[in-house]
């Protein structure tokens, strides 16, 4: 029985499953690759598509200002031009201290006394020496008077050829000797009197007095301690009795950056606010600009005088000052100008530059600004913004230029 041809025909109709399997796998891979490409493109497009963020915005406001507006802010301290730690001229033991902190003292008022017992003993000794020498002078003067009379008699006798020349010479020598002794004793009296004055001056120096009228701000010594005009004794010797401040000499010292020194001039009006009394504004004026710069801090020291002193102003108090734009008050309202301000929360910083997010046609843009004076919660804008523009106040995180935003009130 022959079946060869039929078998061949049947074999031709058989499906090659191996080839079909390979073709199906290739088609599936292409489909998966296409889907992945579509997903990646969708993700990239979603990431690049401008997002809509909800932010709180505020308008840039225009305000009226005058030419006396603040041009520079700085901080410093209240200082006293007249302040002294009162010491003694000599080393000695403190006998009593007559002042306490907070006490007002007048010029030449006694502040303390040192032990002067040894100096008084030496003064008494010198006074006794003066007395002894003065009595010796009286004796010498009596002898000199007698010798002068004797000399006159011998000279008269010599004229009558009764006294010899030798007797006359001895009488003259005696007079000259007594005159020299008297001159020496008078010099000793003057020296003794001057030495007495030295001891008296030291006794006076043992009484320490106030050099000027002021307030005692510290008491540095107690009775029984040693005091000296120089540091000695390994820390056991005091160098001052107390520290006095002349409250009428108080002023303010501030360090102004070299970059802003051109905004400060002598006589310029200044408004000062003590850290202790933030609501109290003190009128002041620039006294002087110290003609020397600090190379370490790149600053220049400025002295500011206080127009009206007050007992609340104390040395070393912290103070903030605002330098005004003019040394004279505005003459009329016509001299007023206009400025713009924004909320402080709108100002952001990138490195050394300030910027804000500006909302325009539903999108935001990053804009650099130059800021001026800060007053409360607002900042004056010197450049970069115009009145009426809207800026982002809250919701700055993850914002990018071109993003869509939804404003919230």
83-114+207-245: in CATH 3.40.50.300: no
What would the mean pLDDT of 259-267 be, rounded to a whole number?
Answer: 89
Please list, residue by residue across 275-284, b when 16 or more beta carbons sit within 10 angstroms of its beta carbon and e when fewer do: eeeeeeebeb
Packing angle, helices 165-205 and 117-159, rounded to 10? 160
Task: Summarize pLDDT for 44-87 with one digit per residue, the tens.
Answer: 655 555 556 677 777 888 776 555 677 888 999 999 999 999 98
Question: What tokens appear for 204 in the block?
Answer: 């006076």
Q: How far apart are CA 329 and CA 335, in angstroms?
A: 10
What would the mean pLDDT of 259-270 be, rounded to a whole number?
Answer: 90
Location of structure tokens 């499953």? 17
Give me the pLDDT at residue 11, please. 56
Task: Summarize pLDDT for 376-390 with one digit per residue, the tens.
Answer: 677 878 788 888 888
5: confidence class by pLDDT, cuts 50, 70, 90: low
Asked if 342 contacts 60 with a C-beta cutoff of 8 angstroms, the reply is yes
- If DSSP codes are grouped into helix, strand and coil, which group holds residue 386? coil
94: confidence class by pLDDT, cuts 50, 70, 90: very high
What would the mean pLDDT of 27-35 be, rounded to a whole number?
Answer: 73
**DSSP letter, residue 213:** S
327: confidence class by pLDDT, cuts 50, 70, 90: very low
What would the mean pLDDT of 128-152 be, rounded to a whole number?
Answer: 87
Q: How far apart are CA 161 and CA 158, in angstroms?
A: 5
Q: Decide the pairing of beta strands 299-306 and 348-350.
A: unpaired
**Boundaries of CATH 2.40.420.20 in the chain?**
52-65+335-408
**Boundaries of CATH 2.40.50.100 in the chain?**
83-114+207-245
* CATH of span 52-65+335-408: 2.40.420.20
Task: Summarize pLDDT for 390-399 with one digit per residue, the tens.
Answer: 888 877 777 7
Q: Is the pLDDT of residue 297 over 70?
A: yes
**Boundaries of CATH 2.40.30.170 in the chain?**
70-80+247-333
Q: Is the pLDDT of residue 337 over 80?
A: no
Q: How far apart are CA 64 and CA 330, in angstroms?
A: 14
**CATH, domain 70-80+247-333, list 3.40.30.110, 3.40.50.10490, 3.40.50.620, 2.40.30.170:** 2.40.30.170
Instruction: Quote the radius of gyration of the chain (alpha carbons, Å).
Output: 50
Distance from the Cα of residue 19 to its chain's centroid: 93
117-205: in CATH 1.10.287: yes
Asked if 32 contacts 336 with a C-beta cutoff of 8 angstroms, the reply is no
């Amino acid at each position: 029985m022959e079946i060869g041809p039929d078998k061949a025909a049947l074999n031709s109709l058989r499906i090659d499953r191996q080839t079909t399997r390979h073709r199906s796998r290739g088609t599936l891979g292409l489909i998966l690759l296409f889907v992945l490409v579509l997903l990646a493109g969708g993700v990239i497009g979603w990431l690049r598509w401008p997002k809509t963020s909800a932010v709180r915005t505020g308008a840039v406001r225009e305000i009226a200002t005058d030419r006396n507006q603040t041009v520079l802010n700085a901080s410093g301290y209240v200082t006293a031009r007249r302040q002294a730690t009162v010491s003694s001229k000599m080393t000695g033991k403190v006998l009593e201290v007559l002042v306490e902190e907070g006490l007002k003292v007048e010029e030449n008022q006694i502040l303390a006394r040192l032990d002067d017992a040894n100096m008084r003993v030496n003064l008494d000794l010198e006074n006794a020496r003066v007395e002894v020498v003065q009595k010796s002078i009286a004796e010498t003067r009596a002898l000199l008077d007698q010798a002068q009379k004797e000399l006159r008699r011998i000279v008269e006798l010599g004229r009558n050829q009764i006294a010899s020349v030798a007797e006359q010479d001895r009488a003259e020598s005696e007079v000259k000797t007594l005159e020299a002794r008297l001159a020496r004793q008078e010099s000793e009296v003057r020296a003794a009197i001057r030495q007495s004055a030295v001891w008296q001056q030291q006794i006076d120096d043992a009484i320490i007095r106030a050099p000027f009228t002021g307030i005692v701000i510290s008491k540095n010594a107690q009775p029984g301690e040693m005091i000296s005009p120089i540091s000695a004794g390994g820390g056991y010797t005091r160098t001052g009795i107390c520290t006095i401040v002349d409250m009428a000499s108080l002023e303010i010292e501030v360090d102004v950056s070299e970059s802003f020194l051109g905004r400060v001039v002598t006589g310029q009006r200044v408004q000062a606010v003590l850290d202790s009394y933030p609501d109290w504004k003190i009128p002041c004026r620039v006294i002087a600009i110290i003609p020397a710069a600090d190379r370490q801090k790149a600053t220049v020291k400025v002295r500011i005088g206080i127009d009206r002193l007050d007992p609340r102003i104390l040395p070393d108090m912290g103070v903030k000052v605002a330098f005004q734009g003019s040394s004279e008050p505005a003459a009329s309202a016509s001299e007023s100008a206009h400025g713009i301000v924004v909320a402080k929360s709108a100002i952001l910083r990138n490195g050394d530059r300030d910027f804000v997010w500006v909302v325009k046609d539903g999108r935001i843009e990053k804009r650099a600004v130059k800021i001026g004076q800060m007053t409360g919660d607002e900042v004056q804008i010197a450049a970069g913004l115009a009145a009426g523009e809207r800026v982002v106040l809250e919701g700055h995180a993850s914002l990018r230029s071109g993003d869509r935003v939804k404003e919230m009130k």
